[in-house]
Amino acid sequence: MTTTTTNTPVLARLGRLMVDTPLIPLTLILLALIAVLAILNPAILSMFWVGNTLKIAIPLAMLAACQTLTMLTGGIDLSVGTAATIAAYVTATATPLIGAPSAIGIAMACALAIGVVNGIGIAFARVHPLIMTLGTGLIATGCLLVYQRSVISTGTIYPEVLVWLGTGRTWGLPNGLFLFIPFAVLILWVQRRTGFGRLLYAIGSNEAAARLSGVRVWQVHLALYSLSGIIAGLSGLLYLGMVKTASLSLALPLDLPSVAAAVIGGTSIFGGRGGYGGTILGALILTVLATMLTLLQMPEGGRRILYGAIILAVTALYIRLTDRS
Amino acid sequence: MTTTTTNTPVLARLGRLMVDTPLIPLTLILLALIAVLAILNPAILSMFWVGNTLKIAIPLAMLAACQTLTMLTGGIDLSVGTAATIAAYVTATATPLIGAPSAIGIAMACALAIGVVNGIGIAFARVHPLIMTLGTGLIATGCLLVYQRSVISTGTIYPEVLVWLGTGRTWGLPNGLFLFIPFAVLILWVQRRTGFGRLLYAIGSNEAAARLSGVRVWQVHLALYSLSGIIAGLSGLLYLGMVKTASLSLALPLDLPSVAAAVIGGTSIFGGRGGYGGTILGALILTVLATMLTLLQMPEGGRRILYGAIILAVTALYIRLTDRS
Amino acid sequence: EGYKIGISNTVQGNGWREQMVCAMKAEALASGKVESLNIAHRNTDAAGQLEDIRNLIQAGVQAIVVNPSNSEGINSAIKEATDAGIVVVAVDQAVTEPSAYILSNNQEQYAYLGAKWLFETMGGEGAVVYMRGAAGAGADNDRDVGFKRAMAEFPNITIAQEVFTGWQQDQGKQQINDIIAAGVPFQGVWTSGIDNVIVDAFVESGAPLVPIVGADNAGFVGQLSSVEGLQGAAVTNPGSVGGAGVALAIQILDGQMPAEKTVLVDPALWENVTEEGKANLAAAANPNLSPEWPVSVSIDGWTTYTMDQIIACKGPGE
Amino acid sequence: MTPAPASPAAMLDARGVAKNFGAVVALRDASLLVAPGQIVALMGANGAGKSTFVKILTGALKPDAGQVRIRGQDSTVASPAGARRSGLVPVYQEPSLIPDLSVADNLRLGDTPVDRFRHWVSELGLPDLRQDAMIRSLPLAALRIVDLARALAVEPDVLLLDEMTAALPTNLVDRVLSVVRAQANAGRSVIYISHRFTEIAAICDRATVLRDGLTVGDLAIEPGIEDRIVEMMLGAGVAAAAATRNASRSSSQGTPRLKVRGLATGTRLTNVSLDLRPGEVLGVVALEGQGQDELFDVLAGNRRATAGTVEVDGKPMTFAHPADAIAAGLTLVPGDRAHALLMQRSVRENIALPLLARFANWGGISMREEQTRVGAAIERLQIDTRAQGEVRRLSGGNQQKVTIARWIAKGVQTLLLFDPTRGIDIRTKRQIYALVRDLADQGAAVLYYTSELAEVRLACDRAVVIFNGRVVDVMDAADADEPTLMRAAYGLTEKTPEAAGAVA
Ligand SMILES: Nc1ncnc2c1ncn2[C@@H]1O[C@H](COP(=O)(O)OP(=O)(O)OP(=O)(O)O)[C@@H](O)[C@H]1O
Ligand SMILES: Nc1ncnc2c1ncn2[C@@H]1O[C@H](COP(=O)(O)OP(=O)(O)OP(=O)(O)O)[C@@H](O)[C@H]1O
Ligand SMILES: [Mg+2]
Ligand SMILES: [Mg+2]
């Protein structure tokens, strides 16, 4: 009888480590990027820079929470950018008319409505989430244009609390963390320690089996996409406070990066695998990467090439390391 | 023994008809839209209008072929708009320097290169097609920007054959059909009557099973995405002849409609189901829909709302009719 | 020892904006007073532009010429810059921050001038196809005001169809094709700069030509003198305001303050009906330019570079 | 048929249940009566409608017609959750666990009492199952046990077991049978579906027989009843075709088609050597998880060996991909048909798949030739093609036949069959034995793993027994009665590795 050699190759062992604790390699990638930055420009690593990076990463990480949760079920939510933009735009333009609290209330109701419509289409009409959320995104943009025509002359006000959250600092760190840390803890708890979180994994992993175990899949979808709408609305408010601009395309450029953050963070687009911890690191990695490309003084063409190439490389590396079972 | 009542509900019977011959309901939807158009403006139903609609639908239908084929395997190709744009831009700007044949050759090589890179990433690095094609799209756009800086003052020429294909008419019908009809016949034949086509369905329904039957899945992915790149390049050339503008975002707005055309045409985004016949009808439906919205004198907001709503309604209806049981 | 100037632009890959950036580079080079240009030229939104401007401040530039993505969104960064003693000139579109200088094309006048010519050419009555730009964009709103002002002066003019081209050539072409095919009666077309494809659509479909007003893009200007039977007018909307912005910034750095904080460049109209108009067109036509570039590559009294310099698109030190 | 007498004592009483799937009539008029403390066997050929019946009873499908009474009360069970509230708990034929969750999370999902679950798991023979194990990492047999233990932990009034034992090795089957019997003795009712008469005879009280969606009989289980049940299941006349035992004539001369030496991979397969000759059917017997899965995977090119050699017709081979194995003539029918089938494609496409796999065959398909080949394979395996548009609509047994038909159409040299009669009815089983024999007579070599020990004598010439990743015994099929195989499978009669390896 031959003895099986137990000295497995290093790559495979590393792979196993990553499957068990996927946050480690992501942290390593993040640190490596920061190291590259520090070499490029040693002066950069200040408290100010850290605070600034966190500030920019927060809205992205929040929108990426929507992607993480929906991707766990095998879905995706490409309407988050629109929902965030609408929440921001409505808040800024309605505040002069009806005051900040009501304006924020209405804005969040709009974001929730988008989520509910997504949920209904996905849960009952069984439209694929990609199509459904693109469709509602289109419809919602249309509504925003109609709305914009009707409020064109009232001017904009940015509620102070949002400005404080978006631009203020406390001990050098952005106030946005006062919103984000409880938010992240909540999402991690929901995902790991609640029945709802478990159902997300269950549906993404085997919807038929979940159904046979008595799960009412439509309830989960409805709740999930509504939650996603609310999170998107919240991110929009924070972003408004940060940018202090009510534009019709405010958060739209964050749609694809939010998907990228979740994917880099190790959430599978096929459903059933991943988690929000990795996503947060993914958002930080993307933000640091963007800073790096700016510092490199790359022309736009080069920036895009590098950005795309690095995202693909990180994704491929991660797959290579974790998927060789 | 109880007799089972055999009078099945109408909806279910209609559903069965649609599963068997999915082209019938799509044709009905198309005819219904045309009927609405004719009511809105009876003058419209001219030969000129038919030719015009076909002309506009052709590039969309060609790009949607890329989506159909990749979606059959459970993939998607979101780099087609970029590949088409690059092919068009390179042709227009390189023709003054090296003549049309070489320029077209280089342009098609660029489009093919994008497809090959997609294929490699998906086949070997096992990156999800959504991420991979978005990534190469980003990189390719970057390359285009770099290229554009180097040719800024050379001017543009549109090769005559492309202009003839894109804008000419023969017996009232657009010359683009001389390219498109053989193309569509070829794609339908590939999809239904070739081993390659069967393998697309096989991989989309159960990749592991295809592998166990001896299919080298990477070969199929590589060939598929390369083919997709070539088709996208070809569509770009045709589109260039049609629009006669070399812009950096020429065909990008067609990315999402090409997906929508395939989905409306009944191809499943999960893989394994659908076909190009439906996609062609889907492209026609979208084109007629756009005309209708133009004629309705909708303001932009209303247009988007209606466009999104109709796409969702058609998709949901189709799912409802075909997927019950 | 020259000046160090920063540039911030948020739209890329559009002929008009390319010309703007090339004009900035050419003017900096031609002035001989600029040591280096620091260019942030990418597709982004207000948030990204805020970041770009802060990076420029950190890089230590003495002046920033910016095409603002939005009239309010970047005010905070502009304030930071002017507080730090940096001269800020906004070109093309206005900003509401009072410490910035503004040098822009007069968009309201742009629309008014073209519409007025069109309505007069139509004999003061008939229906017009109104092809706007991108819904919600600042310049589009300003142009709409001008267009409506002209409409008010011609009570017998109606709008046959109002569409948004999104400033996309293909979309505009599809829309005009639909309108022609649908048989909607109209006697004129006003477009917000998507022009040569509109003429193409008429020619390709064999539909009778009507008067068309567009911008001074090279392609359209060429068509105005070459297409048989076409009556039309090009309204200038020079991308070279970028060059003018740089010139203004240099003047200010040299210590010559302008009288007003806001300088509007008024458009000119070149039609192909009168001899004078034809001469203007012939003078402006330039086959070397990309059809998407405006032919008005310079602005009298502001820019000092030559045609070759702007086409070469090289800044100081390149 | 005679309606069952209305019995107030009935636990479950279903009558006139009908269900159509489009044009396919799955159930025409099915009835079932179960008293408390009874185990009722639900019998029927492949496609008779058993699984459909179970799904209707437990609310996973809605019937088109029919009436179900539970404890004498009219009841409409609208969902699996509702069925559970009424005391009906199923174990479906497909494992209904979530692959990406751990065992513990799966239990929480269904509100299963954990303590009782633990009790049942160890009672059923898996005492060291880890609660934090991911479902996707467990073998099929363990999943079935988890499924059953989960159902038992709810303490149901009626337990419905749909081919629960088909994928289980013999030792676990025995545990399951005794647990089920004990449940009935404690006053609970059980509906038991299996294609194995030994199991039916061992524990069931009555049998209800379905044929083509119709309940055709309801009889008490007593010695000698087997033939009557078979006759009812299949219709008169068919049952007579008894299996003909094949003469064992393994030839020990000539180059073996397949020569395996010292094969090892992973932790389970440590050292297997065997020879397989043309014209031979070599049985493989092993308890769950002794390395047989890995052995078949390596031979099919689905997994790489870490040690050992494989020779095909005397030439050493290494397979990096299933395509390599297929090129060398080795074709696998996997144990889990979900790994083999394109569920949403037609029977024809499924069968033709291997014909198109190679790059050289990517071009145009000759539809006529394909039709001939596929038709012949369907004919040979007597696949019920009523629902051939999509394989997922076939009954389990017919799906299994498709996985075999594929290789018949392609032409076989060496067939690796992993439990090919899993879930297949008695008639088809006999057809498959005959088919395997036919193939061998035509010069094919067959490696035949089976979890049903009695099959060795019915289908094989010789058998190797694998225990702990190595061959521990080799015997002639004639000597391979169940007790002998069982002892060998437990490693009790292990020969020295050399001896076993040499004779294999
Ligand atoms: N979803 C479905 N769509 C169409 N036909 C179906 C569907 N499910 C089952 N059938 C058909 O219903 C009939 C009965 O199937 P069922 O699975 O109940 O049989 P069974 O008795 O369990 O067979 P087996 O022993 O093979 O599992 C078969 O002919 C099958 O093809
Ligand atoms: N995908 C699978 N591959 C292999 N075995 C399976 C699979 N799914 C279920 N089984 C096992 O095979 C047995 C038979 O399943 P099948 O679907 O055939 O049941 P059935 O329809 O009641 O029976 P029959 O197929 O005889 O009509 C089940 O008890 C189950 O343990
Ligand atoms: Mg069954
Ligand atoms: Mg079955």
Q: Side chain identity at A177, as an amino acid letter? A: L
**Per-residue confidence (pLDDT) for residue D310, from 0 to 100:** 93
Segment among A138-152, A187-201, C109-123 with least mean pLDDT: A138-152
Q: What is the radius of gyration, based on Cα positions, of chain C?
A: 20
Q: Is A209's CB within 8 Å of D95's CB? A: yes
CATH code (residue D289)? 3.40.50.300
D24 with D148, same domain: the answer is yes
pLDDT in tens, D148-195: 999 999 889 999 999 888 778 778 888 899 999 999 999 999 999 988
Closest-CA residue, ligand 1 atom 6, reads D393
pLDDT in tens, C146-172: 999 999 999 999 998 888 887 777 778
Helices B80-98 and B100-123 cross at an angle (nearest 10°) of: 150
* Total count of domains within chain D: 3
pLDDT above 90 as % of chain C: 31
Is residue C89 within 8 Å of residue C67, measured between CB atoms? no
D147 with D287, same domain: the answer is no
What tokens does D391 get? 């394989």
Among residues D220, D243, D266, which one ends one of the domains?
D243
| List of chain C residues whose C-beta atoms are within 8 Å of the C-beta of residue A303 | 42
In the predicted model, is pLDDT for residue B2 greater than 70?
no
Spatial separation of the C-alpha atoms in residues D455 and D283, rounded to whole Å: 9
Helix (H, G, I), strand (E, B) or coil at D159: strand
C247 — pLDDT class (breaks 50, 70, 90): very high
- In 3D space, the residue among C230, C231, C243, C225 whose CA is nearest the CA of residue C284 turns out to be C225
Which residue is it, tokens 């290494």?
A: D318
- Using CB atoms, which chains have 3+ pairs under 8 A with B? A, C, D
**Per-residue confidence (pLDDT) for residue D242, from 0 to 100:** 43
Is residue A18 a part of any domain in this protein? no
**Per-residue confidence (pLDDT) for residue A18, from 0 to 100:** 57
pLDDT in tens, B247-291: 777 888 888 889 989 988 888 888 888 899 999 999 999 999 888
CATH code (residue A318)? 1.10.3470
Helix (H, G, I), strand (E, B) or coil at B315: helix
Is residue B2 a part of any domain in this protein? no
D427 with D396, same domain: the answer is no
Give A2's DSSP letter: P
Cα dihedral sign for A49, A51, A54, A55?
A: negative
Domain with B123, as residue range(s), is 46-323
D165 with D234, same domain: the answer is yes
Helix (H, G, I), strand (E, B) or coil at C200: helix
Q: Is A250's CB within 8 Å of C55's CB? A: no
D177 with D263, same domain: the answer is no
C287 in contact with B at a CB cutoff of 8 Å? Answer: yes
Inter-CA distances, D278 with D272, D312, D319, Å: 20, 11, 21
Closest by Cβ to B139, choosing from A130, A135, A309:
A309
Q: Which atom from ligand 2 is nearest to the alpha carbon of D46?
A: 27
- Using CB atoms, which chains have 3+ pairs under 8 A with D? A, B
User: For D396-408, what is the mean pLDDT?
Assistant: 88
Instruction: For the beta carbon of residue B8, count every other beta carbon within 10 angstroms.
Output: 13
**Per-residue confidence (pLDDT) for residue D239, from 0 to 100:** 43
Closest-CA residue, ligand 1 atom 11, reads D26
Helix (H, G, I), strand (E, B) or coil at D311: strand
Among residues D382, D411, D440, which one ends one of the domains?
D411
- In 3D space, the residue among D152, D117, D128, D125 whose CA is nearest the CA of residue D141 turns out to be D125
For the CA atoms of D120, D121, D125, D131, what is the dihedral angle to 10 degrees? -160
Q: Is C70's CB within 8 Å of A245's CB? A: yes
Q: Is A125's CB within 8 Å of B316's CB? A: yes
Strand pairing partners for D15?
Answer: D67
Q: Kindly state if the Cβ of D50 falls inside 6 Å of ligand 2.
A: yes
Is residue D6 a part of any domain in this protein? no
Q: Is D101's CB within 8 Å of A199's CB? A: no
What tokens does A66 get? 């929507």
* Antiparallel, parallel or unpaired: β D12-21 and D65-70: antiparallel
Q: Kindly state if the Cβ of D338 falls inside 6 Å of ligand 2.
A: yes
Residue C217, min C-alpha distance to chain B (Å): 12
Spatial separation of the C-alpha atoms in residues C271 and C233, rounded to whole Å: 4
Q: Which atom from ligand 1 is nearest to the alpha carbon of D54?
A: 18
| List of chain B residues whose C-beta atoms are within 8 Å of the C-beta of residue C175 | 294
pLDDT in tens, B13-41: 665 665 556 788 888 889 998 998 888 88
A88 — pLDDT class (breaks 50, 70, 90): very high
Residue B282, min C-alpha distance to chain C (Å): 18
**Per-residue confidence (pLDDT) for residue D289, from 0 to 100:** 73
* Total count of domains within chain B: 1
Order of strands, edge to edge, in the sheet holding D307-312? D315-317, D307-312, D258-265, D269-276, D470-476, D462-467, D281-286, D445-449, D414-418, D330-333
D359 in contact with B at a CB cutoff of 8 Å? Answer: yes
A308 in contact with C at a CB cutoff of 8 Å? Answer: no
DSSP notation for D347-361: HHHHHHHHHH-SGGG
User: Which of C9, C21, C197, C204 is the best substitution to test chain B (most B C-beta atoms within 10 A)?
Assistant: C204
What tokens does D452 get? 């049903």
In the predicted model, is pLDDT for residue A324 greater than 50?
no
| List of chain D residues whose C-beta atoms are within 8 Å of the C-beta of residue A2 | 262, 264, 270-271, 307-308
Segment among C60-64, D386-390, D432-436 with least mean pLDDT: D386-390
Q: Side chain identity at A95, as an amino acid letter? A: T
Among residues D243, D268, D290, which one ends one of the domains?
D243
A300 in contact with B at a CB cutoff of 8 Å? Answer: yes
Is residue A213 a part of any domain in this protein? yes
- Testing ligand 1's pocket by substitution, the residue of D27, D51, D233 carrying the most ligand atoms inside 8 A of its CB is D51
Nearest ligand to the CA atom of D211: 1
**Per-residue confidence (pLDDT) for residue D502, from 0 to 100:** 45
D173 with D153, same domain: the answer is yes
Q: Is C170's CB within 8 Å of B245's CB? A: yes
Spatial separation of the C-alpha atoms in residues A287 and A295, rounded to whole Å: 12
Closest by Cβ to C200, choosing from B152, B244, B291:
B244
What tokens does D77 get? 């069970």
In the predicted model, is pLDDT for residue B73 greater than 90?
yes
User: For C124-153, what is the mean pLDDT?
Assistant: 87
What tokens does B220 get? 């199929």
Spatial separation of the C-alpha atoms in residues A282 and A260, rounded to whole Å: 8
Spatial separation of the C-alpha atoms in residues C90 and B73, rounded to whole Å: 51
In the predicted model, is pLDDT for residue B130 greater than 60?
yes
- In 3D space, the residue among D260, D159, D304 whose CA is nearest the CA of residue D466 turns out to be D260
User: Which of D56, D101, D146, D271 is the best substitution to test chain A (most A C-beta atoms within 10 A)?
Assistant: D101
Give A194's DSSP letter: S
D221 with D281, same domain: the answer is no
Is residue A54 a part of any domain in this protein? yes
